[in-house]
Amino acid sequence: MDRPPLIGVTTYLTEARWGAAWTLPAALLPAAYPRHVQSAGGLAVMLPPDDPATAAAVVERLDGLVLAGGEDLDPALYGQQPHPRAGDPVPERDRWELALLAAALDRDLPVLGICRGMQLMNVHAGGTLVQHLPDRVGHDGHNPQVGVFTGHAVTPSAGVLAGDVLDGATPVATHHHQGVDRLGDGLIATAAAEDGTIEAVEFTCHRFALGVQWHPEMGDDLRVIKALVAAARSGAARSTVAAG
């Protein structure tokens, strides 16, 4: 494959202010995400929320998909009432990203879920979330200060994708107050924090469908995103051969 693989990255949908006076609804993304993809040799394209019916057509044009972090998922998606500390959901984003994920898995397109993205992968598979992690683990070490990333170590399992990519305990950047509770069908937990919080999940029947609870884009460790880009490049090359 001569060209860099095209990696779609989902976006926030929120009100934003810029310039002298503009405050408008905006589809936006922290610049760290596209820079991370670019640093790993991919081409980054933003995927703002759209009609879920268009998701398959969008995915057909991609070589890989990143489900970015962001707002809490609507707990109604996994049959729960909102916790008092849960954030306001963004239904347009939830519906769009669930449709993108379904289309990507259907095509066996390489997928990386980051933070919210990992949680979305679990909910898509029928799993549930811990809506406020300090209630479960007894501390706020995964998100001690709102708006500030903190660090802790994650330990991957051996013989799985996360273990192959990370090769041992790894310090990561974290900022989340929710996490995976009951695993969805077809998923396995493949990394954990010291307190037992699930830090990575994988779909077992797909060649690259990895979710990580941390934010690799906020550090210099490119191993996770390079693995996604490599899988995207390999898949695109196979598609080109098949089409020829």
Q: What is the band of 2 on the pLDDT scale with cuts at 50, 70, 90? A: confident
Residue 167: per-residue pLDDT: 87
3-state secondary structure of 57: helix
Nearest in space to 201 (alpha carbons), one of 219, 217, 189: 189
Residue 237: per-residue pLDDT: 60
242: pLDDT strictly greater than 70: no
Residue 173: per-residue pLDDT: 97
Q: What is the band of 243 on the pLDDT scale with cuts at 50, 70, 90? A: low
Q: What residues act catalytically?
A: 115, 215, 217
Instruction: Count CA atoms closer than 13 A to 7's CA, side-chain side.
Output: 31
- Find all residues with CB under 8 Å of 234, minimum gap 6, and list them: none
Q: 197-218 pLDDT, tens per residue?
A: 999 999 999 999 999 999 999 9
Instruction: Give backbone dihedrals phi and psi of 127, rounded to 5 degrees, phi first.
Output: -85, 180
Q: 104-160 pLDDT, tens per residue?
A: 999 999 999 999 999 999 999 999 999 999 999 999 999 999 899 999 999 999 999
Q: What is the band of 241 on the pLDDT scale with cuts at 50, 70, 90? A: very low
User: DSSP letter string over 110-130?
Assistant: -EEEETHHHHHHHHHTT--EE
Angle made by CA atoms 157, 159, 161, in degrees to the nearest 5: 80
CATH placement of domain 6-243: 3.40.50.880
Chain-wide mean pLDDT for the chain?
95
Residue 90: per-residue pLDDT: 96
Domain boundary assignment for the chain: 6-243
- Cα separation, 220 vs 213, in Å, equals 17
**Total-model pTM:** 0.95
